[in-house]
Structure 1
């Protein structure tokens, strides 16, 4: 995208060309970058600065409408859409889903590893286990719907990559009644587990959720990720930044800009009660997945 509309002042929207926007002061860029949208379909947009190896600055969006003139189909987008189709089919074919946090991202696996993992993806027969602790933080309808622990159920297994891509491409997972296991003991209704950054709220019991959405940018010290979906949310990464960069190929700040992310963590207020913090559960790098953006949105 060569242009984006800035809604920082909603009464006075400004259309910036990428050439004009990148010439703004660093302070203005940081102030405006979370208020950008596509001029064609009004989808939430992001700004990526020029890279050290010569890639030009650009605007992009992970929220284009399918008929948007700025939307450029690609192999990556087609794969993400296929993931959404597969997850929607999973909702029909399976009684529950187990999140496999140990599953390596596709880009980091060898062919042999992928073939082995494919065999593990087939739905497995497993006894469902109820958890009084997690049922207590679910809705009353969830408690009423709890099944006996001796009922055999079809439980599919999926990694974070496919789950994130499906959510970004509009799968029905986040609104479904599907039971989702975060390990062999604890389960949640999908509609209570998956939360977009824009809807993140501190939980009374400190119970974790699967938070997902788009990253706007990271601060210069690489301490905080700032979601594009909400200016009120911050995600601390100072304790995991190096393994995070290594695992997902995030070589410079630009690589975070416009990336999508899902993580298992808890949401709480900062001391001043003016910002919501989403903390990765146990700072476990396996419980987070980041999908880098393409060069063009």
Structure 2
């Protein structure tokens, strides 16, 4: 996008003009951006060393927004392995915290069910088999949360090692809905990052919005491995990224909600390109 609205001052900025703001003002205002057309949460990217111009983006846009661009290429039949979860609302999802060695979903059958000869794990309306247990990596769950609103409200049961079983709709919390009441609650916190900044001690702070929104912090020695993992050059590569963290937020003495990624190490990210 070439322009975006800043809710702090109500001004619609062109990307080239926004990039010229004083550094401190730019760092503050980039946490208050929205699409000027639909009001969806937006982010700003500075010009890159590789020649990419400064620009805005919004994730997600409201339905039918004229400025929206496709986030992904759907499968030919519109039913990939992630969509399968929506076809089977009774499924139990086993969360793979080791990022999964297998590339395909693992489907197990509960005891006492008739034999499934085709072993596909997808069940039609006739003779439904709602007790399949499917193994999913965090990256797959993040994709579902981004692309499938129905999944966010699903009654599917999550099985996470060392944790009580919980419904999908009760476990995943959008970043902009996190409050101080979530302190100490182990959940899946997900959403878009507005920006990232380095602290004086080298800590990387991943921000999801203004002062009241949750931020994630990463110790300096863990920053380079993160960049390497996701092909990021610097902090600008994190603006507009989606993140999913399975963790327990804390609240600082200044009433800031944050989550330490060195402690809450289970994380997936989808970087904007």
| TM-score normalized with structure 1 length | 0.75
- 1:38 is matched with which residue: 35, 40, 44? 35
The within-5 A match list for 1:4-15 is 4-9=4-9, 13-15=10-12
Cα distance in structure 1, aligned partners of 2:188 and 2:162: 17
Deviation at 1:159, TM superposition (A): 1.4
Q: CA RMSD in A?
A: 2.9
The match for 1:57 is 54
Residue range with higher mean Cα deviation, 93-102 or 188-197: 93-102
Tell me which of 230, 233, 237 is aligned to 1:255: 237
Output the CA distance in 1 between the equivalents of 2:79 and 2:22: 39
**Would the aligned equivalents of 1:225 and 1:236 in 2 still touch at CA under 8 Å?**
yes
Structure 2 counterpart of 1:124, from 99, 105, 108: 108
Matched residues in 2 for 1:155 and 1:70: separation?
Answer: 39
Unaligned runs of 5+ in 2: 112-129
**Distance of 1:247 and 1:266 partners within structure 2:** 23
1:180 corresponds to 2:158: yes
Q: How does 1:223-242 map to 2 (within 5 A)?
A: 223-228=204-209, 231-238=212-219, 240-242=222-224
Aligned to 1:265: 247
Report 1:86-235 matches (<5 A): 86-93=81-88, 94-103=90-99, 116-118=102-104, 121-125=105-109, 153-183=131-161, 186-202=164-180, 206-221=184-199, 222-228=203-209, 231-235=212-216
Q: Helix, strand or coil for the counterpart of 2:219?
A: coil
- In the alignment, the residues of structure 1 paired with residue 250 and residue 79 of structure 2 have an alpha-carbon distance, to the nearest angstrom, of 30
Give the secondary structure class of the aligned counterpart of 1:219: strand
Instruction: Report if aligned partners of 2:42, 2:58 keep a CA contact under 8 Å in 1.
Output: yes
In the superposition, relative to structure 1, how do residues 227 and 189 fare at CA in structure 2: closer, same or farther (>3 Å)? same
Q: For residues 68-104 of structure 1, what are the alpha-carbon distances to aligned partners after superposition, in whole Å with 9 as ceiling and x for unaligned?
A: 221123xx52249x99975454144242101112226
TM superposition shift of 1:271: 2.1
Instruction: State yes or no: 1:71 paired with 2:49.
Output: no
Report if aligned partners of 2:216, 2:258 keep a CA contact under 8 Å in 1: yes
Q: Which runs of 5+ in 1 are unaligned?
A: 105-112, 128-151
Deviation at 1:254, TM superposition (A): 1.1
Mapped contact 1:164–1:212 kept (Cα < 8 A): yes
* Distance in 1 separating the partners of 2:60 and 2:210: 11
Contact 1:62 1:214 in 2 (8 A): yes
Aligned residues: 250
Task: Give, in whole Å, the separation in 2 of the partners of 1:78 and 1:44.
Answer: 22
1:21 aligns with 2:18: yes
The secondary structure found in structure 1 opposite 2:179 is coil
Q: Is the 8 A contact 1:6 1:16 kept in 2?
A: yes
* In 2, Cα distance between equivalents of 1:41 and 1:255: 24
Cα gap change, 1:165 to 1:230, in 2 (>3 Å): farther
Q: Secondary structure at the match of 2:260?
A: strand
Please, what TM-score do these two structures have when normalized by structure 2? 0.81
Query: How far apart, CA to CA, are the structure 2 residues paired with 1:6 and 1:265?
Result: 30
DSSP 3-state at the match of 1:172? helix
For the structure 1 residues 36 and 68, does the alpha-carbon distance in structure 2 shift closer, same or farther, using more than 3 Å as the test? Answer: same
Q: Is the 8 A contact 2:92 2:133 kept in 1?
A: yes
1:199 CA displacement: 1.6
Matched with 1:144 is: none
